[in-house]
Amino acid sequence: MFQLDLEKLIHAFIFCQIDYCNGVLTGKILGRLWLKKVFARQISVRVSDRMSRKAAWRNTANDAVSSNQDQALSTTMLLLRSFGPAAFLLREDGETRSFKVCLGEPHTCTCPAFAKEQQPCKHICWLFLRKFRLPREHEYAFQLGLSERQLLEVLQGLHQAEAHRTELDASAAAGNLSRNVPGQEVGSVCRKVIQAQDVCPICQEGLLLKKQPVSYCRWVWVGAVSVDQNMTP
């Protein structure tokens, strides 16, 4: 953003604050003024994030990142360990080497491809596309790094469609998320019914896609694991 445009934005934000304060003093708080204030604040936050970034903001994914996204969507990864909300240890199914991925500004990965290209590798793309369910066209899915606020939006799942949340709320209200299992031990937690949106907590693959047997934790349901992974909760 050019300096002249930024000055206009700041002036608009200041006058919006003045109009809002005048409305409070006169007892005439208009909803339109409040909306303008919120909108101006959102724009200023986004501009501040982009101006303070260490890497240039991308509007589209380049060919290298797009290719890595294709590999991430067609590869089975295993999430072996979490080192916090934004650091993970990943291993590709069938491989022996594991790589640590840290999301932030900038993103980093210990794999050779990232060290060579300095672009979001297939491991970074897998986290955004598989674990956090970002659409590949989302502006956060192909950046070299994300600010703290942007990363928090991804971790909180604010990008998810409202229809999906409404579906989950409707299922919870109808009591379809859990049911009693005949012969279940007293004191144990009821098994969670597997639904279309449920994924394996290790490989992040949809549980109903492969249609293979799954295993449950005895006391607390922690997800289901595909049998071909030879791993148990």
Indicate whether 46 and 89 sit together in one domain: no
Q: Encoding tokens for residue 190?
A: 């009821």
Indicate whether 144 and 67 sit together in one domain: yes
Indicate whether 141 and 197 sit together in one domain: no
The angle that helices 31-51 and 3-26 make with each other, rounded to 10 degrees, is 150
Indicate whether 88 and 131 sit together in one domain: yes
Indicate whether 67 and 47 sit together in one domain: no
State how many domains the chain has. 3
Indicate whether 67 and 130 sit together in one domain: yes
Indicate whether 76 and 31 sit together in one domain: no
Whether 223 is covered by a domain: the verdict is: yes
Indicate whether 38 and 69 sit together in one domain: no
Indicate whether 8 and 45 sit together in one domain: yes
The more confidently predicted of residues 69 and 44 is: 69
pLDDT digits (tens, 9 = 90+) for 109-139: 999 999 999 999 999 999 999 999 999 999 9
Whether 133 is covered by a domain: the verdict is: yes
Whether 181 is covered by a domain: the verdict is: no
Whether 182 is covered by a domain: the verdict is: no
CA atoms within 13 A on the CB side of 69: 19
Helix (H) or strand (E) segment spanning residue 5: helix 3-26
pTM above 0.85, yes or no: no
Whether 57 is covered by a domain: the verdict is: no
Q: Do the Cβ atoms of 188 and 219 come closer than 8 Å?
A: yes
The more confidently predicted of residues 49 and 203 is: 203
Q: Do the Cβ atoms of 122 and 71 come closer than 8 Å?
A: yes
Indicate whether 142 and 93 sit together in one domain: yes
Whether 30 is covered by a domain: the verdict is: yes
Whether 163 is covered by a domain: the verdict is: no
Indicate whether 43 and 69 sit together in one domain: no
Per-residue burial over 179-199, b if 16 or more Cβ lie within 10 Å, else e, is eeeeeeeeeeeeeeebeeeeb
**Which domain does 43 fall in, by range?**
3-51
pLDDT digits (tens, 9 = 90+) for 146-189: 998 899 999 988 877 544 555 656 665 665 544 555 555 555 55
Whether 19 is covered by a domain: the verdict is: yes
Indicate whether 69 and 102 sit together in one domain: yes
The pLDDT assigned to 225 comes to 45
